[in-house]
Amino acid sequence: MITLMFIELILRKREKLMNKWVRNGLILTVTLGLLVVFAPKAGLPHQINPVIEKRTKATADEKKHNKEVAKGYAYAAQGWKGREWECLLSLWTNESRFDNFAENKSGSRAFGIAQLLGEKDVRAEYQILKGLKYIKHRYNTPCRAYEFWLNSSPRHY
């Protein structure tokens, strides 16, 4: 009798767990479907799957979006605006033109918007956050990083 009750309890818990998995799977499927349908209409950037799609250059719209994201993140994360934003804009425009697929022309392993060494992640938001963190850690401000960049040969920061 106890064994039967125990098996029945396990089966009910398993059924609840399976229902939860199915429900979560359906929610995920619907969410992804809505993103596919409505993201282009809402003007959201096209997300890239680097495994499936091998791209070598960002579009003009993507670069414009990357620039806007960088400006917002620089202010929100570090309080950088005005002159500091202008320095960051000049630095990253010269380094990559805000292209999250940019490869270094001098042959180093630097990649992306901030031209960070060893990075291969194509997500612009990730590159921007990593670049801001690097500048804050190494130079404290974008203007100091840009000044270093201007005085280096070959150019790097």
137-157: pLDDT as tens digits: 999 999 999 999 999 988 889
pLDDT of 43 strictly over 60 = no
pLDDT band at 31 (very low <50, low <70, confident <90, very high): low
pTM over 0.85: no
- The pLDDT value given to residue 113: 97
| 3-class SS string, 3-60 | HHHHHHHHHHHHHHHHHHHHHHHHHHHHHHHHHHHHCCCCCCCCCCCCCCCCCCCCCH
pLDDT band at 19 (very low <50, low <70, confident <90, very high): low
Instruction: Write the single-letter amino acid at 11.
Output: L
Domain boundaries, the chain: 1-44, 60-150
pLDDT of 24 strictly over 70 = no
